[in-house]
């Protein structure tokens, strides 16, 4: 009887331990001069930012330094993040901090992404969510193909939901909603505002004019041929006469005014701060890479 009692007590303790919310932990690694632990495609000129950025295992995906997500909730979120990565071939990272590291939430998000091995494919496609509990600020940083998918419009909508959940202190809901919205837009594909853009091999967004240069030449030739044809047609309508007086009456001289009303461009590399008029605002991180995204206080 006593043995059964002990078994019951042990089972109750085990169930309690499983149900108890335990703060998730994140492993970090030491950066040294001989091994900065950064990808080869980023600049190492700004070593101060590198040393201040935690070096982590890129496979964990959730880095809860602020300890606002339980182990159980983190496991649920991690599974959803893995599904997103497998389905859309873009990386996804979630970071929380509770102390003033350096700079803005946006710059910290960019550096955390760049100075660790995040990103799919050569252009390091993916997005990162940063929740700064110290400054009460949230930031979304996009890289590579994710810049095309998440334009300024979509980023603003995602931040709207995050601001609400974070304001109520429902941190699991905030991250869960972030994954849900990121998935929704990834499913829709490239944002309409970026339909004439692509990401080059350096990770920069390039906007291409819908009228390529050869089309400009073709249109110019057509206009020239039509104009010459009209002039020749009018010239043939003048009747022959033996006096100059008749010719003067036949020729109708009018004033013509040509107005330049259309401009054409071929392509523009958006590699620094922009107004977002093309769809996605971009900026340079301390590593020299291009990022999109946005931030907001909560």
- R_g (Cα) of the chain, nearest Å: 30
Strands 137-143 and 197-199: unpaired
- Tell me what the mean pLDDT of segment 227-247 comes to: 62
Q: 287 falls in which pLDDT band (50, 70, 90)?
A: very high
Nearest-CA neighbor of 92 among 76, 77, 70?
77
Q: For the chain, give every domain's residue range.
A: 19-195+276-297
pTM, entire model: 0.73
* CA pair distance 285, 142, nearest whole angstrom: 11
pLDDT tens for each residue of 177-209: 999 999 999 999 999 999 999 999 999 999 997
Q: 276 falls in which pLDDT band (50, 70, 90)?
A: very low
* CA pair distance 282, 272, nearest whole angstrom: 6
DSSP 8-class letter at 240? P
* CA pair distance 278, 219, nearest whole angstrom: 25
pLDDT tens for each residue of 259-271: 444 444 444 444 4
pLDDT tens for each residue of 117-145: 999 999 999 999 999 999 999 999 999 99
Position 165 scores a pLDDT of 98
| DSSP output for 141-194 | EEETHHHHHS-HHHHHHHHHHHHHHHHTT-HHHHHHHHHHHHHHHHHH-S-GGG
pLDDT tens for each residue of 35-74: 999 999 999 999 999 999 999 999 999 999 999 999 999 9
Position 259 scores a pLDDT of 45
- pLDDT at 229 exceeding the cut of 60: yes
pLDDT tens for each residue of 1-29: 555 544 445 454 444 443 334 344 689 99
- Alpha-helical (H) ranges within 20-46 are none
- Tell me what the mean pLDDT of segment 268-277 comes to: 46
Domain 19-195+276-297 bears CATH identifier 3.20.20.370? no
Position 219 scores a pLDDT of 65
Write down the mean pLDDT value for the chain: 83
Q: Which residues pair with 208 in a beta bridge?
A: 267
* CA pair distance 11, 116, nearest whole angstrom: 41
- pLDDT at 255 exceeding the cut of 60: no
Position 298 scores a pLDDT of 97
Q: 97: part of which helix (H) or strand (E)?
A: strand 91-97
Position 233 scores a pLDDT of 72
Q: Position of tokens 């995204």?
A: 293
């Amino acid at each position: 009887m006593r043995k059964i009692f002990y078994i019951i007590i042990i089972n109750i303790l085990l169930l309690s331990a499983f149900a108890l919310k335990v703060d998730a932990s994140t492993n970090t690694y030491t950066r040294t001069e001989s091994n900065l632990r950064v990808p080869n495609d980023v600049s190492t000129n700004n070593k101060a930012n590198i040393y201040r950025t935690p070096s982590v295992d890129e496979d964990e995906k959730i880095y809860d330094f602020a300890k606002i997500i339980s182990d159980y909730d983190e496991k649920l979120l991690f599974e959803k993040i893995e599904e997103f990565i497998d389905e859309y071939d873009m990386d996804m990272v979630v970071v929380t901090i509770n102390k003033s590291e350096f700079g803005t939430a946006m710059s910290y998000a960019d550096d955390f992404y760049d100075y660790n091995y995040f990103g799919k494919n050569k252009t390091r496609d993916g997005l990162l969510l940063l929740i700064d509990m110290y400054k009460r600020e949230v930031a979304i940083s996009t890289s590579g193909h994710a810049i095309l998918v998440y334009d300024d419009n979509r980023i603003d909508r995602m931040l709207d939901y995050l601001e609400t959940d974070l304001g109520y202190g429902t941190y699991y809901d905030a991250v869960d909603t972030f994954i849900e919205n990121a998935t929704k837009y990834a499913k829709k594909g490239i944002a309409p505002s970026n339909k004439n853009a692509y990401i080059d091999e350096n990770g920069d967004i390039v906007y291409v004019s819908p009228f390529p240069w050869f089309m400009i030449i073709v249109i110019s030739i057509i206009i020239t041929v039509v104009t010459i044809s009209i002039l020749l047609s009018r010239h043939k309508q003048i009747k022959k006469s033996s006096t100059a007086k008749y010719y003067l009456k036949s020729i109708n001289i009018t004033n013509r005014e040509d107005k330049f009303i259309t401009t054409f461009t071929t392509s523009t590399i958006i590699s620094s701060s922009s107004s977002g008029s093309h769809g996605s605002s971009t900026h340079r991180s301390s590593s020299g890479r291009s990022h999109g995204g946005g931030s907001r206080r909560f």
